[in-house]
Amino acid sequence: MTELLYLAAAVLFIFGLKQLSGPRTARRGNVLAAGGMLLAVVVTLVDAAIVTWGTIIAGLATGTVIGAVLAARIQMTAMPQLVAAFNGFGGAASALVALAELERFDAVFAEETGVTVALSLLIGTVTFSGSFVAFAKLQGLVPGRPLLFPGAQVINATLGAGAVALGTWAVLADAAPAYWSIVAVAFVLGILGVTPIGGADMPVVISLLNSLSGVAAAMAGFVIGNSALIIGGALVGAAGFILTVLMGQAMNRSLANVLFSGFGTEGGPAVATGDKPVNRATPEDVAIAVGYASRVIIVPGYGLAVAQAQHAARDLANALEARGVTVEYAIHPVAGRMPGHMNVLLAEADVSYDLLLDLDQSNPRFPQTDVALIVGANDVVNPSARDDTTSPIYGMPILEVDRARNVVVVKRSLSPGFAGIDNPLFYLENTMMLFADAKAALESVLGALGDV
């Protein structure tokens, strides 16, 4: 019966993961996968006969309360931080399982089990410390820019080699101190590995850490011989790695480049607005442009998330639709600070899934678009990625907003984006620059629309 219930949990994991592939079914997929995990946890505790039903119910109640409070209190703009913390706790849980087995058997393992214990400790601890560095960057507790120091790659390589050597010693010699040393080295490696990565590379980092948390869970499953944990961890590991690859492709960068290049100068100095002529716009100018358009495509970026302007964008879109304007949203895969960040924010504002266009859907529509309204995006709409072979972002797939008849950019200043380069889009004849906070700007445009 235990194995059959584990099989049922695995089926729920697989169906849940499949449903997560589309926005319409994602909520149901989340419920299915969570139900599978609930089933697996309860079956494990009952089968092991190590706790009473009262303890199980108390644990479920405690976890439910904590989850409900988090869901109610965490703003959607802080979702990347929450995901990073979840990844960290997942890695820590896997490492703790391995440590518990280490204490129970005093490091006397079969060789295969010793390998999985060492891997669970290494991957789980790296995931834990690395995820909370990512959390600190996203939360603004440490600078979001790449924090580089001399010899960083050499130090990290040495720590990685040291962890492998300690793991080999632990397995071959049944040495408990070596296993504990892996934890210490992996903790430092996780911190130093994520510190040099800029905040705008967090979509790739978060998906990679998510993958690592799954691999660590699978290793913990091998340690304790739990098939549901092995299957669930393998699914998370594989899905997370595929997503990591897709995020890298969306930036035309390899995983190695993201992890080791220290790319970008996020938060760099602003470019003086007087250096090049721009077409400054007022809210009234933008209201006229969008109010008399037939099709408007809104392009959200991290600036929209920071300003919490998703509701203002929806309100403006609703007002335009009431005037007969077709309004859609173009979503770049790496816009924001986690995979799907813009989709999540717009879903919170009750924007219909049908209006969210991906890169391949958006670009063919821009030539037939009257106004492309850019809200807080920069590098993902920079035509240098398409036209300038000397640009650091050359080859990165972009939203080709410059092909629209008119472009409106809502931005605080002409400061460069994460890549630290200027954006020629800002100086085109058909581009209007509305310098303001995203939320305030959209609300002002909405107010002016009533007079158009």
- The percentage of the chain sitting over the pLDDT mark of 90, rounded to a whole number, equals 52
DSSP designation for 428: S
What confidence tens digit (pLDDT) does each residue in 359-411 have?
999 999 999 999 999 998 888 999 998 988 888 788 889 999 999 999 999 99
Query: Strand, coil or helix: what is 323?
Result: coil
- Quickly state the pLDDT bin for 298 (edges 50, 70, 90): very high
Average pLDDT for residues 326-341, to the nearest whole number? 87
**In the predicted model, is pLDDT for residue 47 greater than 90?**
no
**In the predicted model, is pLDDT for residue 263 greater than 70?**
no
Task: Return the H-helix or E-strand segment holding 371.
Answer: strand 371-375
**In the predicted model, is pLDDT for residue 442 greater than 70?**
yes
| Rounded Cα–Cα distance for residues 213 and 85 (Å) | 11
What confidence tens digit (pLDDT) does each residue in 50-103 have?
788 888 899 999 999 998 998 888 887 788 888 999 999 999 999 999 999 888
Are 36 and 16 contacting, i.e. CB atoms less than 8 angstroms apart? yes
Nearest to 78 by CA among 140, 160, 21: 140
pLDDT of 270 reads 42
Nearest to 144 by CA among 196, 199, 201, 193: 199
Catalytic residue list contains 285:
no
The domain defined by 283-449 folds into: Rossmann fold (3.40.50)
DSSP per position, 242-301: HHHHHHHHHTT--HHHHHHS----TT-PPPPTTSS---B--HHHHHHHHHT-SEEEEEE-
**How many CB atoms within 10 Å of residue 261?**
17
pLDDT of 106 reads 76
**Burial label, 273 (beta-carbon count in 10 A; 0-12, 13-18, 19+):** middle
Average pLDDT for residues 337-346, to the nearest whole number? 83
| Rounded Cα–Cα distance for residues 18 and 11 (Å) | 11
- Quickly state the pLDDT bin for 24 (edges 50, 70, 90): confident
- Quickly state the pLDDT bin for 269 (edges 50, 70, 90): very low
Entry pTM: 0.80
pLDDT of 288 reads 94
Nearest to 101 by CA among 126, 71, 124, 75: 124
pLDDT of 141 reads 86
Nearest to 442 by CA among 249, 299, 277: 299
- Strand-pairing partners, residue 137, are none
pLDDT of 200 reads 66
The torsion angles phi and psi of 384, rounded to 5 degrees, stand at: -60, -30
Six token digits for residue 369: 């678009």
Strand pairing of 371-375 and 295-300? parallel
| Rounded Cα–Cα distance for residues 212 and 201 (Å) | 17
Catalytic residue among 379, 388, 402, 437: 379
**In the predicted model, is pLDDT for residue 114 greater than 60?**
yes
- List every span in the chain annotated with CATH 3.40.50.1220: 283-449
